[in-house]
Amino acid sequence: MSGNTAVMVLEDGRVFRGTTFGAVGQTLGEAVFCTAMTGYQETLTDPSYDRQIVVATAPQIGNTGWNDEDDESQQIWVAGYAVRDPARRASNWRAKRTLQAELENQNIVGIAGIDTRALVRHLRTRGSMKAGIFSGEQLSDYDELLARVNGQPSMLGADLAGEVSTKEMYTIDPAGDARFTVVAVDLGIKANTPRMFAERGMRVHVVPSNVTLDQIKELDPDGVFLSNGPGDPATQDDAVALTRGVLSEGLPLFGICFGNQILGRALGRKTYKMKFGHRGINIPVVEHHSGRISITAQNHGFALEGEAGEQFDTPFGRAEVSHTCANDGTVEGLNLIDGKAFSVQYHPEAAAGPHDAAYLFDRFAMLMEGA
């Protein structure tokens, strides 16, 4: 093999050979695909992608380079990156360096020059699966590489929120007068979410995932937010207990993505691992009360059980499945009918992605205003 050879091996034995992209070495993770045509910087820095090897369906990646404004966290979280055609040069007025350089800087192992259409079709057929990318001195014979891939932990049962959560509380102040105080539980929060709150006059205290109910109450919030995040929601018993405590206190609550799954579990619903998940910025969601369809940004491999418009009893009152995916019927939102809690499975903070769902932040403000 030549010096710039890279190999991607899937747990079922499928192999893709290409060239190095980013750092040289070895990385292991769950192979998933993202259908977004733009916003790769936000995708790579989204904590929800922790321990996942992201396959880009867009054929050319890296055109706009890397800037210092669009990161959604303090680092790249993806385990690896697989692309077809990396741009040879960056062309954007905000670019500070190339994508290749940033991947090298953060030691993210990737692969380029592979048939990503074939790889995505394979993952759609077989489902997301364990994978590895190998280059340089980490290259070895096929049986050895396959053994490394299959020897890694599964995403099913993975408890990852603590890995990506802030260790210390920090506060984002609104530009003007503070109308409300929100405690945001960081399960893997994206940087644009507190900014969206701040734009609406909310002071946001971002707290670690292991925060207690008493610690939240000490901050005297008008509402509580449950963020997006990585891993299996079935592992989050502490977060579920915290959510039940918040609901018992009567505090308004808003959750997105992982937060939607945590709220669902707190209301008695079960979760399951999807075949290949939803990852992209072009996924249609139906809100059943209004019939409104929003084009949304999503990143999740687990989902809540439920049917469109279904209503069910909970310890906190009657609840309903408020949103579902127009593509496959997956639960995309919950609502306490006579209560103070709602959630969506998608990313209304639109980073990167459409702005169709930004109204949900206003809905949260109205909920706190009426509390």
Catalytic residue among 34, 72, 205, 257: 257
Reading the block at residue 335, the tokens are 């609502």
- The span from the CA of 232 to the CA of 207, in Å, is 20
- Residue 238 has what DSSP assignment? H
249 is catalytic: no
Catalytic residue among 104, 320, 332, 349: 349
Q: Are 345 and 331 in contact (CB under 8 A)?
A: yes
- The span from the CA of 63 to the CA of 172, in Å, is 32
Question: What's the Cα-to-Cα distance from 212 to each of 166, 241, 282, rounded to whole Å?
Answer: 15, 10, 36
205 is catalytic: no
Question: What's the Cα-to-Cα distance from 97 to each of 66, 92, 103, 106, rounded to whole Å?
Answer: 5, 10, 10, 13
- The span from the CA of 335 to the CA of 264, in Å, is 9
Reading the block at residue 298, the tokens are 């999503």
Q: Are 202 and 182 in contact (CB under 8 A)?
A: yes
- CB-side neighbour CA atoms (13 Å) of 1: 17
* DSSP codes, 137-202: GG---HHHHHHHHHTSPPSTT---HHHHS-SS-EEE--SS---EEEEEE-SS--THHHHHHHTTTE
- Stated length of the chain: 371
Burial 349-368 (b: 16+ CB within 10 A, else e): bbbbbbebbeebbeebbebb
347 is catalytic: yes
Q: Are 365 and 202 in contact (CB under 8 A)?
A: yes
The stretches of the chain forming alpha helices (DSSP H) are 40-44, 99-105, 116-126, 142-150, 161-164, 192-198, 213-218, 237-248, 258-266, 359-369
Sign of CA dihedral 304, 305, 306, 311: negative
Just list the catalytic residues.
Answer: 257, 347, 349
